Amino acid sequence: MAKIGDIDVGDFPLLLAPMEDVSDPPFRALCKEQGADVVYTEFISSEGLIRDAAKSVMKLDIYEKERPVGIQIFGANLDSMLRSVEIVEASKPDIIDINFGCPVKKVVSKGAGAGILKDIDLMVKLTEAMVKHTHLPVTVKTRLGWDHDSIRIVEVAERLQDVGCASIAIHGRTRAQLYKGEADWKPIAEVKNNPRMHIPVFGNGDVDSPERAVEMRDKYGLDGAMIGRASIGYPWFFNEVKHFFETGTHKAPPTIAERVAVAKRHLEMSIDWKGEKLGVVETRRHYTNYFKGIRDIKPYRQRLVTTDAPEDLYGILEEIAEKFATYTF
């Protein structure tokens, strides 16, 4: 049984990764319904929080049905990070997660996200200060290192644990790789196999099938899998993995009717939360996967990502339900 602080998260939990403009409350709710054990918010700028920037503050919205939920923050300035912890605590999350892994240039250039992998001492210092500043468990998401020549993840993980980090999720790529090539899980297993490590070590990167999740659990011996891209527009992925764990067989994929129903709910919840314009725009990235692999879907998908009026979008989804009603996967 893996525990983050005092929170039981189950045997080999499946965690929804924090993803910018993806891991919002509507999507987190859908993933939770479909078997995600722990969900994380989109990453939130500590500087944005202390400036009371509307977009950053909005990301603090969490709901009871999501628990356990972690709010993820990023930054490189100690004072700003500590002040943001106090703001985050007011939202009553279960976990505070620090992003030491985002490879995006605008984040890295400020020394935040994966940028801090160039300064491990600062990474440890920030983590220690945040642990001391809150009663909530503090966790870390990071990468193997800045580049191939600077991978010290076994030492880094041990140092983070020693200053009070409650769990660590490691993406199996360096910052230099961005999302290219294959994720390397061997160094993550080395972290887990370090006899001094006693906190959960979660793997991230390329968990894109139930078989890969089994491999992460059984071959690499990790404590859980953090799932990102495989879940975009496909919240069913979590339950499909769990079904495979239990039975060794693949769960039947959702029917067209189920996909349409969830896509509609997703759009409706997004509009309720973000307003019509943003709700419509930010749901678009999910439509490809909601209807992935369906022959002749392309013209419908094109309309879904170019239509602005919600009533028209619901109409297109109804058309898909009727047109492909007998489609089998």
φ and ψ of 305, to 5 deg: -95, 5
Selected catalytic residue, list 9, 17, 69, 102: 102
Residues sharing a CB contact under 8 Å with residue 181, sequence separation 6 or more, in sequence order: 173
φ and ψ of 95, to 5 deg: -140, 145
Can you tell me which residue has the tokens 């994720």?
183
**What is the C-alpha to C-alpha distance for residues 79 and 126, in angstroms, rounded to an integer?**
9
User: Nearest-5° angle of CA 55, CA 114, CA 229?
Assistant: 65
Closest CA to 293 of 322, 263, 316, 324: 324
Whether 102 is catalytic is yes
**Are 89 and 134 spatial neighbours (Cβ–Cβ below 8 Å)?**
yes
**What is the C-alpha to C-alpha distance for residues 37 and 26, in angstroms, rounded to an integer?**
16
Can you tell me which residue has the tokens 């503050």?
57
**What is the C-alpha to C-alpha distance for residues 190 and 151, in angstroms, rounded to an integer?**
12
**Residue environment code for 258-271, b if the CB has 16+ CB neighbours within 10 A, otherwise e:** ebbebbeebbebbb
The H-or-E segment that residue 44 falls in is strand 44-45
Active site residues: 102
